[in-house]
Amino acid sequence: MDISAMLVGKSDQLDNVDLLSGPRDFTITEIGRGNAEQPLSITLAEFPRPWRPGLTMRRLLAAIWGPDASVYVGRRVRLYRDENVSFGNDKTGGTRISHASHIDKRVTVSLPKSKGKFAAFTVEPLPDAPAPSPTLSPDQIAASTDVTWLREQWKTAGPQQRERIQQRVAELTPPDDAA
């Protein structure tokens, strides 16, 4: 049983724990303002909650793509969980960029890591995205009786489709199998 759909937290943003299963590629669909602590909010096509990059990753984005965030829409990043990121004295992990579209070669940037300490951050070119999978209609989801197929479709579905797929899987899964 693939439990990917059951790992989503109750946070209002993409968190590093959402990447525990490994790096993921995301397409930027919208750029917006966040709050004072997290001033940049990035909407991702492949995730139901926004990514709010920390200062170091905002600086890295500006270094590879420039400071005009309006050009980021349609571009892609590969995000991963870096378990060595600290917040204060605690190692909390953090979300990092390993690859990005719209660069033609490896980019390495030295950025502040902590007070008085710098680290090199390297971003590799992200290959072209595979062709998008066809959009599933609500009727296709409702008509399916194949839970395995539905779970596979969930991996590449948009937020609304994911919700419909989860509901359909719940309908098809006997209560004893839900655990």
Contact 92, 85 (CB under 8 A): yes
Rg over alpha carbons for the chain, rounded to the nearest Å, is 18
Percentage of the chain exceeding pLDDT 90: 46
Q: Is the pLDDT of residue 130 over 70?
A: no
Q: What is the DSSP letter of 46?
A: T
Cα–Cα dist 3/50, whole Å: 22
Cα–Cα dist 70/176, whole Å: 49
Q: Summarize pLDDT for 6-26 with one digit per residue, the tens.
A: 665 667 888 888 888 899 999
Cα–Cα dist 23/109, whole Å: 20
Coil, strand, or helix at residue 155? helix
Coil, strand, or helix at residue 129? coil
Nearest to 52 by CA among 36, 66, 68: 36
Q: How many CB atoms lie within 10 A of CB 165?
A: 23
Question: Which DSSP string do the residues of 47-113 spell out, in sequence order?
Answer: -SS-B---HHHHHHHHHHH-S-GGGGTT-EEEEEEETT-EETTEE--EEEEEEESS-SS-EEEEEEE
Contact 77, 60 (CB under 8 A): no
Cα–Cα dist 79/77, whole Å: 6
Q: Is the pLDDT of residue 52 over 90?
A: yes
Q: Is the pLDDT of residue 131 over 70?
A: no
Q: Is the pTM of this model over 0.85?
A: no
| Segment (H or E) for 169 | helix 159-172
